[in-house]
Structure 1
Amino acid sequence: MMRILCKSKIHRATVTEANLNYEGSLTLDPLLMEAAGLVPFEQVHVLNLNNGARFETYLIEGERGSGTVCVNGAAARLVQVGDPVIVLAYALVPEDELADFIARIVFVDEHNRVVRVEVAKVLQEAQVS
């Protein structure tokens, strides 16, 4: 059996741009992507904490060190600059690998600079049957 687990979370990033005329995607500062273990074109879910909107898209790299969190394409209608968002990515994990699976949670400041990264072991050895 495979389980779908949250593998990466960027917590309370601030939307810096919304570009309706781009084809689609979420542009992120590569420093955020690296801290969360995310790669270009990876699927992500974005949760807008101001209005409850939730959407999925894929990632593209912005300028390194810029703090960019830009929602592109149709999803730009679901955010406003300044909205706090959570960016999530999931992984399919085989049952026999659950004990080794680690999730990464990235906390950022008001300028989308990484403040800290926490890692969480999903299960303890005794919990896997």
Structure 2
Amino acid sequence: MIQLTLLKAKLHRVRVTAVELDYEGSCAIDEELLKRAGILPFEQIHIYDVHNGERFSTYAIAAAPGSGVISVNGAAARRVSLGDLLIIAAYAQVPADEAEGFLPRVVYVDGENRPRDAAATPGLAIAAPA
């Protein structure tokens, strides 16, 4: 069976709140944002830095819910700066016959990484409040 890789979830334009070089690795993300997006702790994520164009992958870990934390840790900390805007994406393998109509969960945030309500965007599934 053919599998397609589709966008599963996206945290759109979250702001880096911490950069921790001396950490084992990963990206700590406010647990509320993870839940709204449907991203699990230890799930692979792709990070796209809006400010400098860096693109890399790591895995998600949960930070305190409601904290607004987006902490890029370990070696990846060298690829971002405090305050950078990021797009964090997770992808899923979907059988080709189920791909049509598949919609990702997208979470938009305010300037402090708090989820905000957003008008429905054509082609996207806006993540509902937790």
- Taking structure 2 as the reference length, the TM-score comes to 0.88
Q: Distance in 2 between matches of 1:28 and 1:56?
A: 14
SS of equivalent to 1:114:
coil
Identity of aligned residues (%): 46
Of residues 110, 120, 124, the one that matches 2:124 is: 120
Shifted more, 91-100 versus 107-116: the winner is 91-100
Q: How many residues align?
A: 121
Cα distance in 1 between the residues matched to 2:23 and 2:6: 30
Gaps of 5+ in 2: 126-130
SS at match of 2:124: strand
1:20 equivalent to 2:24? Answer no
Task: Give the alignment of 1:66-105 within 5 angstroms.
Answer: 66-105=67-106
Q: Which runs of 5+ in 1 are unaligned?
A: 122-129
- 1:98: Cα distance to partner? 1.4
Paired with 1:79 and 1:95, the residues of 2 have a C-alpha distance of: 35
Name the SS for the 2:34 alignment partner.
helix
TM-score, normalising length from structure 1? 0.89
> How many Å separate the matches in 1 of 2:124 and 2:85?
23
Partner of 1:30: 31
1:40 corresponds to which residue? 41
Aligned partners of 1:11 and 1:116: how far apart in 2?
13
Q: Which amino acid aligns with 1:18?
A: V
Deviates more, 1:52-61 or 1:94-103: 94-103
Kindly state the Cα deviation for residue 99 of structure 1 after the two structures are TM-superposed: 3.2
Matched, 1:53 2:57: no
Cα shift readout 1:12-67 (whole Å, capped 9, x = no counterpart)? 00000000000100000001001111110000000001100011000100111100
Higher strand share: 1
User: What is the CA-CA distance between 1:114 and the residue it aligns to?
Assistant: 0.3
Q: CA deviation at 1:100?
A: 4.9
> What is the root-mean-square deviation of aligned Cα atoms in Å?
1.4
CA distance in 2, matches of 1:98, 1:5: 8
The 3-state SS of whatever aligns with 2:98 is helix
Please say which structure displays the higher CA radius of gyration: 1
